[in-house]
Amino acid sequence: MFSIEDLVSVITLRKVVEQLNEDQQDRFFKNIQKVNEEIEEKRLAEKRENEAKKEKAEQVRKLMKELNLTDEEYIKIIGLDTSTLGQPEVDINVPSKVKRAKTLPKFMIEVDGEKYFWTGRGKFAPKVFGDLSKEEIQVQYAISDAELDMWKENNH
């Protein structure tokens, strides 16, 4: 795969195009031209949209001046919530953190009929494992495949 720098490098593009046969080169250049046209159309549409917004904003300013309205009065009249002004927009459809898969436990201990699981991560073992070192826990409480399957059923 190519990096962004490779894709904008004339030397790299020349090497890639030289490896293509004539038909592939024709398709490559047509596709590049098509992408370029789409990008230009998008830029023009954005420019037109921004110009239209600017024109409407100028009309509002002109009307505000005619009515002797201050910015604060206008904001109050239209009921604009100013508490979020200047803050970045947040897309509510995008989770703020990527959800990761649960880490599977490596050790299990049963105390008073209740099973406790531990992944083996962290500096210290859970208190139910007592004062045992990690090495002792690895020897005595390693989880079996059957116990791991049971844990998966109950936790997924």
Going residue by residue through the chain, which has 156 residues, state the pLDDT in tens, using 9 for 90 and above. Answer: 667 776 778 888 888 889 999 999 999 999 999 999 999 999 999 999 999 999 999 999 999 999 998 888 888 888 877 777 777 777 777 777 777 777 888 888 888 888 888 888 887 788 888 888 878 888 788 888 888 888 888 876
pTM of the model: 0.43
Q: What integer pLDDT is reported at residue 40 of this predicted model?
A: 97
Q: What integer pLDDT is reported at residue 1 of this predicted model?
A: 62
CA-closest candidate to residue 136, choices 115, 109, 114: 109
Q: What integer pLDDT is reported at residue 137 of this predicted model?
A: 82
Bridge partner residues of 117 (DSSP): 108
Q: Round to whole Å and give the CA distance between 131 and 151.
A: 24
CA-closest candidate to residue 104, choices 48, 144, 54, 64: 144
